[in-house]
Amino acid sequence: MIHQLHLTEPLKVYMVYHHQNQKNVICQPLIEAINIEKYLDNIELVVVGGESYKNARPLNYDWVLSLREQRITKNVNFEFRQCGTHFIKDGKSYTLNTKDLCSQARKANINIVHP
């Protein structure tokens, strides 16, 4: 079952209920800074990622880190799934190959998984 959380338009953030009652919040594609803290009760995982095509909107790494920080007080797992094709980090813009988006996100080493 999927429920859409309407934060701002056209941004869409989804709360996904899996078959084992696991609840995830998926912020992908993340196209602006958002605050999801009030939605994190009883959530197991926050997933973040950017868009992956030629005309993709940029993903700012600061937005990713902000979401990572928001989940700390609720002890929620966090996964940075993929960078965007157009990625901004430390004020510098990068254009990444689609094939590298997931590996670049893993290199950030910011995922948090609680046992």
Instruction: Give the residue-averaged pLDDT of 78-88.
Output: 96
Residue-wise pLDDT tens digits, 59-80: 999 999 999 999 998 999 999 9
Name residue 80's beta-bridge partners: 48
The pLDDT > 90 percentage for the chain reads 60
CA dihedral 54, 60, 61, 66 (to 10 degrees): -140
68, part of any domain: yes
112, part of any domain: no
Closest CA to 77 of 27, 36, 39, 43: 43
Q: How many domains does the chain have?
A: 1
Instruction: Give the residue-averaged pLDDT of 4-33.
Output: 67
113, part of any domain: no
* Domain span at 46: 2-107
Mean pLDDT of the chain: 86
115, part of any domain: no
62, part of any domain: yes
